[in-house]
C-alpha cells in the first residue's frame, strides 16, 4: 500500500521510462520537459505509437465472483 507522498507503481514506471529515454537519446531534463509537457506546463502521457502508459489507479479492478454450482462439472454427465 502506498501512502500520500510516496512513490506509486505508476510513478516508478514513469521514472524508469524517462530515465531510459534520457540515456538512450542523450536528453537533458529540459529536453524531457520540452517533449512531455504542454505549452501551459501540464505533463502529457508517455506514448509509443498506439500504446500509452496509463495510470494504474484509473484501471478498474474486477474481483472473482463465487459461482458455486453454476460452474458445470465435466465429470458428471448432465443426462444421468
pLDDT of the chain, 80 residues: tens digit per residue: 555 566 777 888 889 999 999 999 999 999 999 999 999 999 988 888 888 888 877 888 887 777 777 777 777 776 65
DSSP secondary structure, the chain, as one string = ---TTS--HHHHHHHHHHHHHHHHHT--HHHHHHHHB-TTSPBPPPEETTEE---GGGS---PPPP-GGGSPPTTS-S--
pTM of the shown model: 0.61
pLDDT given for residue 1 in this prediction = 52
Amino acid at each position: 500500500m502506498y501512502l500520500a507522498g510516496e512513490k506509486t507503481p505508476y510513478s516508478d514506471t514513469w521514472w524508469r521510462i524517462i530515465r531510459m529515454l534520457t540515456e538512450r537519446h542523450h536528453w537533458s531534463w529540459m529536453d524531457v520537459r520540452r517533449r512531455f509537457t504542454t505549452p501551459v506546463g501540464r505533463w502529457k502521457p508517455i506514448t509509443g505509437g498506439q500504446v500509452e502508459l496509463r495510470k494504474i489507479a484509473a484501471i478498474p479492478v474486477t474481483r472473482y465472483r463465487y459461482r458455486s454450482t453454476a460452474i458445470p462439472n465435466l465429470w458428471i454427465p448432465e443426462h444421468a
